[in-house]
A = this chain, B = another copy of it.
Amino acid sequence: MNPISFTCDYNEGAHPLILRRLAETNLRQEPGYGEDSFCASAKEKIRSAIGRPEAEVFFLVGGTQTNSTVIDAMLGRYEGVIAAETGHIAVHESGAVEFCGHKVITLPQHDGKIAVDELEAYLEHFHADPTWPHMVYPGMVYISFPTEYGTLYTKDEISRIFDICRRFGIKLFIDGARLGYGLMSDACDMTIRDLAGLCDAFYIGGTKVGALCGEAVVFPSGNVPPHFFTIIKQHGALLAKGRLLGIQFDTLFTDDLYFKISRNAIERAMELKAVFSRRGIPFHIDSPSNQQFPILTREQMKALEGKVLFEIWDTLPDGRVVTRFATSWCSVREQIDYLDSII
């Protein structure tokens, strides 16, 4: 028997309804580049889900691509983007933002989040510094929801960040690669409608939430950067058969599928968390979403070897290992039970 993998939330294919939809529509002739009827329908459903008929929606293929394309499109040539030092764009995107010419300005992370007060202090300090024209102008704040540590900003925190951004005339962009897993967490005090009103742009992650690929970028008030279609293509991010993305998001946003499968991941994650907690195994961070970070001893690691896969996050001075276990849209109770049985 193959080991069960909790290494990440993109180990499997796509939700079966997506595959069915792809098969059913396969030979229907449609225009390319996102001008197909599936994309149109999916966009409409997303606008409806966020309660904003004026929103503009674009479908891109992957997360790093989406981050660098959107950030580059929204920033001026001379501007950089503020992120937590643990932000995905700061660490794990091979410098894709810098490749587009923009500095990622890092702030300290606290459980994967930037602190609202530190953001404000940074911006005030920057603008008070007479040498600021010699520095990179901070033109955007990037946050991920949930963060790379599975944690969540509260509605109040995002509201305050957005207020600060508006006060300084800069943008707020929310990386929602795992958006569903954030919104469906018991710890989340926001709806997708709330979130759409608290930023200049965000994206709804598909790759990690049941799609084969795809991220839906939303400009909530129709505030799409000029010539964004061309910019997408310039960044190599325009899919010829846009239908592949349209069909997937159309399916995910039919009958709340996106939210239902996200909720599944959360429920499995809480069961998984309980597996560890019951045994007194501590966590590196108290995550309310689909990524969990138990700290395992070498013996515990041994017990799982060859049976369960997960990620090594860090090694502590005492030899214990910070691990990451991720559940997903397709995790099943049996997988958690199996883990419970062997640990």
Contact = CB atoms under 8 A, between A and B. Distances in A.
Contact of A239 (B23, B92, B98, B213): B213
Tell me the dominant secondary structure on chain A's binding face.
Answer: loop
Given A22-B22, A94-B231, 9 more contacts: A2-B29, A11-B29, A92-B134, A93-B234, A94-B233, A98-B103, A101-B101, A208-B240, A213-B240
A72 B243 CA distance: 29
Interface stretch (A76-84, A110-118, A179-187): A76-84
Contact of A236 (B10, B68, B136): B68
A64 B23 contact: no
In the complex, the 10 A-B pairs of residues with the closest C-beta atoms, listed nearest first: A65-B236, A13-B26, A95-B136, A94-B233, A94-B234, A11-B29, A98-B103, A95-B103, A5-B29, A78-B230
A12 interface: yes
Interface of A: 2, 4-5, 7-8, 10-14, 16, 19, 22-23, 25-33, 61-66, 68-69, 72-73, 76-80, 91-96, 98-104, 130-131, 133-137, 207-208, 212-213, 226-227, 229-231, 233-241, 243-244, 309, 312, 330
Given A227-B137, A229-B133, A236-B68, A241 B207 contact: yes
B96 A102 contact: no
Contacts of A243: 13
A240 B4 contact: no
A78 B224 CA distance: 14
